[in-house]
Amino acid sequence: MIQTKGYATHDKNAKFVPFEFERRDVGSNDILIDIEYAGICHSDIHTAKNEWEAMMPTMYPVVPGHEIVGRVSQVGDAVTKFSVGDVAGIGCFVDSCRECSPCKDGFEQFCYKGAAYTYSGTYMDRVTPTYGGYSNNYVIDENYALKVKAEGDLAGVAPLMCAGITTYSPLRRFGVGPGQNVGIVGLGGLGHMGVKIAVAMGANVTVFSTSPSKEADAKALGAHHFVVTSDPANLAPLAGTFNFILDTVSADHDVNMYINLLGIRGTMVVVGVPPSPNTVHSFGLIFGNKTLAGSLIGGIPETQEMLDFCADHGITSDVEVIKPDYIETAYDRTIKSDVRYRFVIDMKNA
Ligand code: NAP
Ligand code: ZN
Ligand code: ZN
């Protein structure tokens, strides 16, 4: 077995503490990744605090982290995609059944048997717990690891593994491109990636934010317009003008005000997972044949496509690199929308 050092929380109110555990030995098809950086996704926070208890209760102790990048330090004898020294990434799942139609079609996140999520879950034996990227290594089947072309600043690459694919996938699925008005709601980890990717796809991008202080950043990220949502008067003139809106907000909020901004046959996709259910008024959808949809991360082929797209367009995440002893403060600041725009834990020196 491989000894691993990580950081875990044992209860929804507990602090993160050092946590040592074992990962499986490197099998024929496995690679061992020495983790360099792990992003802090708001899903880590929802999970550590058990905010999704009703739908997905947290398995404690939990070592979060599903935005992982590092270097391959060992390969199994049947591995073909990776060599020792390569940069590799891990996203939100590390295995699936490989036989059902979603797995065969590249939608492993929807595996009928339940994918093995990177943390707060189990491997496919349904017994062994998975521990995530707030740790110094990970053993993974090569088919569930991502190839990373980028060299240089790997800290900015880590968040692509979740924030990047979660925004790329719906933008691609609904054909966002030149000539379209696209709204991104919430300028956090997901939102700032959504802006960069939608701009690279050629769209005219508007950021909807509760934080007036983020306007200059939004423009620097490439957004064309910035709207402060706390005053409804700012939204009224925009009614019916958007082709596509991506809602990344992590907290309870009213989606109807954004549905109202969609034009005829416009689409709004929710990717944020606030703790409480939303109330949607049917009138807002039926007048205009509008679509309200959801999207969950992306499968391995599309995640690789996103990484290649980002490498080709020079897109990485804007990050604040921290040490593990800052995790709680980073969580508190993220909850207060005080992150520009992703905290990434340096695990090289942890
Ligand atoms: P984040 O970095 O905390 O960003 C969320 C943003 O939402 C904040 O920066 C803030 O932007 C806005 N916001 C926060 N509180 C708000 C409130 N009360 N009202 C209105 N807006 C508010 O979080 P993230 O990591 O991007 O994740 C966002 C959500 O997506 C989380 O719920 C996460 O669990 C979920 N998620 C889903 C998937 C998926 O596959 N569907 C994948 C990853 C994450 P402004 O300051 O600009 O208002
Ligand atoms: Zn995530
Ligand atoms: Zn499957």
Question: What are the pLDDT digits (tens) for 64-89?
Answer: 999 999 999 999 999 999 999 999 99
Atom index in ligand 1 nearest the CA of residue 41 equals: 25
Please enumerate in sequence order all residues whose Cβ is within 8 A of that of 300, keeping only pairs 6 or more positions apart, or say none. 106, 108, 143, 144, 146
Nearest to 194 by CA among 243, 235, 259, 248: 248
Write the DSSP symbol of residue 234. Answer: G
Pocket test for ligand 1, best of 52, 166, 235, 249 (most atoms within 8 A of CB): 249
Predicted TM-score (pTM) of the model is 0.98
pLDDT single digits (tens) 131-187: 999 999 999 999 999 999 866 789 999 999 999 999 999 999 999 999 999 999 999
Residue nearest ligand 1's atom 22 by CA: 249
Q: Give me the percent of the chain exceeding a pLDDT of 90.
A: 96
Instruction: Compute the distance from residue 44 Cα to the ligand 2 centre, in Å.
Output: 7
Return the pLDDT at 152. 79
pLDDT single digits (tens) 211-264: 999 999 999 999 999 999 999 999 999 999 999 999 999 999 999 999 999 999
DSSP letter string over 47-114? HHTTTTTTTS---SSB-----EEEEEEEE-TT--S--TT-EEEE-SEEE--SSSHHHHTT-GGG-TT-
Buried b (16+ CB within 10 A) or exposed e, 107-131: bbbbbeeebbbbbbbeebeeeeebb
Scanning the structure block, which residue is given the tokens 């997905």? 56
